[in-house]
Amino acid sequence: MATISTRIIRPVLAFAAAAGLGACASVDAVSPIEPASRNIAPATTLNAPVEAPAQSVASYKVVGVTVNVPETLRVNEANRYYPGGDIVWREDPIGNRHEQVRVIIQTALEKGAARVDGDQDVIAEVSVSRFHALTEKARYTVGGVHAIQFSLRLVDAETGAVVRGPKFIKADFEALGGQAAVRAEARGVTQKVRITDHLAYVIEQELTRPQGFVEYDNGLMGAINQL
């Protein structure tokens, strides 16, 4: 039997996801996070991992963050439910999407790292491999998943020696859609706000827990984002 191409699989899965989510697109499947949210995960807790037993963890203080968004990452501006490519971003004016993504991630990680005041000064070095927010079509209908993935390593601020990582981090989380997205935007809770809050939480987990951030189970939409 001939192998089914990714170009066929993606639309089929996206349609299936849209059909499954369409019925709930007009209700608050996920409670929007306020801009000045509490110091908790901004994503839904329904798909959060089970907490691991408390263990000791190294004590870090991030004194610098560097973010690399390789130019080889492909940008897609198509307004589809699920366009291909590595970078999908729409809340800034059309321009250098690589730089826009870099600024978002750097701002978010600096925000989260500022909450942790440990003993060892380190620099967080990040290389982005995926930044897939929602298109206009997906945001105002079925919603979906913010697929944000990168590698992280911590190096000693004085010696440059690697003290942790590199670690691949899959920071995907549920995105608002339909009326939930509209109501969130009316309160100033944009995609950028939710992504920033979520990534701040992710880096805080990385710095304070032995296992670091543990990825969420985002179901079918999460699986689509891996194609």
pTM confidence score: 0.75
Query: What are 34-48's pLDDT values in tens digits?
Result: 333 333 445 443 344
Number of domains in the chain: 1
Chain centroid to Cα 14, Å, comes to: 19
Find residue 175's DSSP bridge partners. Answer: 144
pLDDT (tens digit, 9 = 90+) per residue, 151-190? 999 999 999 999 999 999 999 999 999 999 999 999 999 9
Domain contains 25: yes
- Asked if the structure places residue 213 within a domain, the reply is yes
DSSP string, 88-136: E--SS-SS-HHHHHHHHHHHHHHHHHTT---SEEEEEEEEEEEEE---H
Residue 23: C-alpha distances to residues 17, 144, 145, 168 (Å): 11, 13, 17, 34
Does residue 77 belong to any structural domain of this protein? yes
- Res. 142: pLDDT tops 90: yes
Instruction: Give the integer Cα–Cα distance in Å for 84 and 132.
Output: 9
Specify the pairing of strand 120-132 against strand 87-88.
Answer: parallel
Antiparallel, parallel or unpaired: β 60-68 and 162-170: unpaired
DSSP letter at 197 equals H
Q: Which domain holds residue 192?
A: 6-40+57-224
List the structure tokens of 97.
């999407």
